[in-house]
């Protein structure tokens, strides 16, 4: 059974990907430093999977620690690299923390398995596009100057991977997946998004408002040049996103795939903030208390992905709709309210 290292595997997207890897017949090996995740997700995964996945607690910035990982896990067929700091606002406040963590961990990992024929999936982001000139945005759209150090680490990491492949020295194959906005939760409601403190992202703030943890939700601006004036994003169900990682591994397992490629991972449709609120109320029957507030600095007005390449080359497309995203996020919020981890 092919062994896949999943760094950041106890995080939101990582944990959902562990489930889909096992469903697809892979053996995931979770590596996580627990800096932004909860070790109890391992128990939750065990409930879903009926067995406990392999887990190593490790900070990938610790070079000696990563060398020990190699001796513990020498036969790795693939790596899915999620482990990184990812809060846009925090990255503006503490850029060096972001550059150190996100680059030391990536380079340590790449060096450690450098001589092995490993299929490497990199967790990238639509933030590399900034505010695209054309919508939907395609993978060959010009990459704009990043709006934050976080976005910059994703852009530079893609360049590091491309340069490594171009040098010809390694036996890696690499696919970068540019995520749009991951939301929702596994159908079991046993795993989901666990924001630390006050949620920065829209959907966890919506569900925490609905459950009464937050008094109201503020829509950051309704004076944009969009149909209803609120910002537009490409929200994708986290389970669909997780399945894209399995598709990426399968594509690299084909002899015909060599080198490096990049794919947009979204639905190909744009949804506004006010439409998200509507979809949440419609699919859950819950009434949301929201107000219109000022724009949030750094927000792009509208971005959604062209997913033609992912459909035709990766052989993947989304199956779950916005109502399912909202209903699953709500089921998880209710579960975690009654079963705090
Ligand atoms: C979505 C929309 C807000 C909160 C995220 C990640 C980023 C990247 C892409 C991975 C915006 C509005 C939000 C609120 C609101 N993912 N909003 N009230 O900014 O698109 O970026 O997805 O790399 O890392 O951060 O997502 O959920 O923060 O905001 O009106 O209380 O919801 O203005 O228009 P964003 P978000």
Nearest-angstrom CA–CA distance, 154 and 17: 20
Is position 323 within any domain?
no
Over the stretch 80-134, which tens digit does the pLDDT of each residue have? 999 999 988 889 999 999 999 999 999 999 999 999 999 999 999 999 998 999 9
Is position 94 within any domain?
yes
Is position 180 within any domain?
yes
Nearest ligand 1 atom to alpha carbon 300? 34
Task: For ligand 1, say whether the CB of 205 is within 6 Å of any of its atoms.
Answer: yes
CATH code (residue 145): 3.40.50.720
Taken as a whole, the chain contains a residue count of 341
Task: For ligand 1, say whether the CB of 299 is within 6 Å of any of its atoms.
Answer: yes
For the chain of 341 residues, list the mean pLDDT of each consecutive stretch of 10.
97 98 98 96 98 98 95 96 93 96 97 95 94 96 90 96 95 97 98 92 97 97 98 98 98 97 98 98 98 93 97 98 98 97 94
Is position 204 within any domain?
no
Please give the residue range of the domain that contains residue 50.
3-185+235-266
Number of domains forming the structure of the chain: 1
Going from the Cα of 202 to the center of ligand 1, the distance in angstroms, rounded, reads 6
Going from the Cα of 244 to the center of ligand 1, the distance in angstroms, rounded, reads 21
Is position 138 within any domain?
yes
Task: For ligand 1, say whether the CB of 171 is within 6 Å of any of its atoms.
Answer: no
Is position 295 within any domain?
no
- C-alpha closest to that of 181 among 272, 248, 47: 272
Is position 118 within any domain?
yes
- The chain-wide mean pLDDT, for the chain, equals 96
Nearest ligand 1 atom to alpha carbon 230? 34
Nearest-angstrom CA–CA distance, 17 and 227: 35
From 199, 233, 244, 300, give the residue whose CB has the most ligand 1 atoms within 8 Å, as the site to mutate. 233
Q: Whose CA is nearest to atom 22 of ligand 1?
A: 181
Which amino acids are annotated catalytic?
Answer: 150
From 148, 195, 220, 274, give the residue whose CB has the most ligand 1 atoms within 8 Å, as the site to mutate. 220
Q: Whose CA is nearest to atom 36 of ligand 1?
A: 201
Is position 273 within any domain?
no
Over the stretch 205-251, which tens digit does the pLDDT of each residue have? 999 999 999 999 999 999 999 999 999 999 999 999 999 999 999 99
pTM: 0.97
């Amino acid at each position: 059974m092919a062994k896949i290292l999943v760094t950041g595997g106890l995080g939101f997207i990582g944990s959902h990907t562990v489930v889909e890897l096992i469903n697809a017949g892979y053996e995931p090996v979770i590596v996580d430093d627990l800096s932004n995740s909860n070790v109890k997700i391992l128990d939750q995964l065990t409930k879903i999977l009926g067995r406990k996945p392999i887990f190593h607690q490790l900070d990938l910035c610790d070079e000696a620690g990563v060398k020990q990982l190699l001796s513990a896990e020498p036969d790795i067929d693939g790596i899915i690299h999620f482990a990184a700091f990812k809060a846009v606002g925090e990255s503006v406040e503490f850029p060096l923390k972001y550059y150190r963590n996100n680059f030391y961990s990536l380079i340590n990992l790449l060096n450690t398995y450098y001589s092995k024929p490993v299929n490497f999936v990199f967790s990238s982001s639509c933030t590399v596009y900034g505010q695209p000139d054309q919508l939907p945005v395609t993978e060959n759209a010009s990459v704009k100057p990043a709006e934050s150090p976080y976005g910059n680490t994703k852009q530079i990491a893609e360049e590091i991977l491309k340069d490594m492949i171009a040098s010809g020295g390694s036996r890696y194959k690499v696919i970068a997946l540019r995520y749009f906005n991951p939301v929702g939760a596994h159908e079991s409601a046993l795993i989901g998004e666990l924001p630390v403190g006050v949620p920065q992202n829209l959907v966890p703030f919506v569900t925490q408002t609905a459950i009464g943890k937050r008094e109201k939700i503020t829509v950051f601006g309704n004076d944009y040049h969009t149909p209803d004036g609120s910002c537009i994003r490409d929200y994708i169900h986290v389970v669909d996103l997780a399945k894209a990682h399995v598709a990426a591994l399968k594509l690299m397992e084909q002899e015909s795939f060599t080198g490096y490629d990049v794919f947009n991972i979204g639905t190909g449709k744009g949804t506004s903030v006010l439409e998200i609120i509507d979809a949440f109320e419609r699919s859950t029957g819950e009434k949301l208390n929201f107000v219109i507030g000022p724009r949030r600095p750094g927000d792009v007005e509208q971005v959604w992905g062209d997913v033609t390449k992912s459909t035709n080359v990766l052989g993947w497309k989304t199956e779950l709709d916005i109502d399912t995203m909202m209903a699953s996020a709500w089921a998880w919020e209710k579960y975690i309210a009654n079963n705090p981890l």
